Amino acid sequence: MAGGDAGPTIAVIDDHPAIVAGVRAWCAASCPSIDVVAVGANVSAAWTHPGADADVVVMDLMLDEAAPAMGDLRRLADAGRRVVVYSMRTDDRTVLSSLEIGAYTYLTKAEGEQHLVAAIHAAAADLPYTAPNLAGSMYADSRKCRPRLTPREQNALMLWFRCESKEMVADRMGVSASTVNTYLDRVRIKYANVGRAAATKTALLARAMQDGLISLDEL
């Protein structure tokens, strides 16, 4: 995230000029303001300067294609980019698949300014963000194969949802940050092994909510 009092920087990937104009206005009016450093009708804008250095990528899935751009999303996520999907698609399959691929969070365009601005700030600060449609998709997921988490793994996971950094989790648990990373890596592997991959913090939150480990009220 940008240093000092500056807000995050974003690249906006959307092929609808009216949507881009709206996102620009909302970001300029936010506090702290969000700097839109790159805009493009395809993901190349997120791979080239200055979009390549943006803290967050806000991405539509339907980029003049008949099917969602899941391949582009996967490549960005695999490169470690924080992607906020901002789409007209509301179906549970697309929402949950986006999280599994690595989207930081998922919003529908109907959820608008309040949720998009909050989601951008959350992604830049490495905090989960769950808008109403995403919460509904989480609860609607019918896959119930729950991995066996050890008490320490579960504790690390729950603390990570409530803390801004793994260092803070480590301090609360009385262990090193590398040990916290080990616990969280084990949790991800266990979810992947039961067919419920969770590449991001929000995806892990989705799994924990589905399994009754935490509720939104507890965050």
List strand residue ranges (DSSP E) for 7-130, in order: 9-13, 35-40, 56-59, 82-87, 105-108
pLDDT score, position 4: 47
Distance, in Å, from the CA atom of 149 to the CA atom of 129, rounded to the nearest integer, reads 23
5 class by beta-carbon count within 10 Å (0-12 exposed, 13-18 middle, 19+ buried): exposed
Say if residue 8's pLDDT is above 80. yes
Average of pLDDT values for 114-137? 91
What pLDDT digit, counting tens, does each position of 78-107 carry? 898 999 999 999 998 899 889 888 899 999
Q: How confident is the model at residue 144 (pLDDT cuts 50, 70, 90)?
A: low
Average of pLDDT values for 22-41? 96
Say if residue 162's pLDDT is above 80. yes
What pLDDT digit, counting tens, does each position of 179-206 carry? 999 999 999 988 888 888 888 888 888 8
70 class by beta-carbon count within 10 Å (0-12 exposed, 13-18 middle, 19+ buried): middle
Say if residue 65's pLDDT is above 60. yes
Could you tell me which residue, 17 or 99, shows the higher pLDDT?
Answer: 17
* pTM for this predicted structure: 0.75
pLDDT score, position 3: 43
What pLDDT digit, counting tens, does each position of 46-64 carry? 999 999 999 999 999 998 7
Task: Name which of 62, 59, 90 is nearest 76 in CA terms.
Answer: 59
pLDDT score, position 86: 97
Say if residue 28's pLDDT is above 80. yes
pLDDT score, position 216: 73
Task: Name which of 55, 54, 72 is nearest 63 in CA terms.
Answer: 72
pLDDT score, position 50: 97
Task: Give the chain's mean pLDDT.
Answer: 89
What percent of the chain lies above the pLDDT cut of 70?
95
Domains belonging to the chain, first-starting first, are 9-140 (3.40.50.2300), 151-212 (1.10.10)
